[in-house]
Amino acid sequence: MRKASLVLAAFVVAAPALAQGMKAAPAAGTVGALKASFDAVGGYIVRSAEEMPDADFAFKPTPEVRSFGQILGHVADANNMICSAVLGQANPAPGVEKGTTSKAGLVAALKASYTYCGQAYAMPDAEAGRMIKLFGHERPRFAGLLANLTHNWEHYGNLVTYLRLKGMVPPSSQPKK
């Protein structure tokens, strides 16, 4: 029953990416389905960062929320932190949100975090049930990937709002080329 729930969760999470017209079918298996969605959202987040003008990286819709650039740094930090736990490695680049403010630096940090996470999303399904310590609890590696993926989609939603407030069309709504 638990495996069936995990499989269902993977496909529910992968559905938004599939609905956005992914170019390739997801890799076989549950981790492959997560990877397909992770690749899609990562592409959208990086494109959002590349398309937002430098001057708008400090933009905040209200004073209480993160700036556009801070969200990007937060996503890079979370990718590195969660994927390093999934991989059983030390975090390769902590502190992006607090230490990087330039567009060039944030785009580079994001791209590096997605490359790094690619290692975690490349694991075979057979290894996805191995337990890791994440957020103070023992969890299967699959749960770490799922948490990371949903976190990325959550913050892409924030970025969409910021882009729309700046009169821009988010990558996921742009015409397909």
Q: Average per-residue pLDDT in the chain? A: 89
Candidates 42, 153, 157; CA nearest to 107 is 42
What amino acid occupies position 70?
Q
Q: What are 144-160's pLDDT values in tens digits?
A: 999 999 999 999 999 99
132 and 144 Cβ atoms separated by less than 8 Å = yes
Burial of 67 (C-beta count, 10 Å sphere; 0-12/13-18/19+):
middle
pTM, whole model, 2 decimals?
0.85
Q: Is 88 left (phi over 0), alpha (psi -120 to 50) or beta?
A: left
Q: Does residue 46 register a pLDDT over 70? A: yes
What CATH homologous superfamily does 31-55+64-169 map to? Answer: dinb family like domain (1.20.120.450)
61 and 172 Cβ atoms separated by less than 8 Å = no
Q: What are 72-84's pLDDT values in tens digits?
A: 999 999 999 999 9
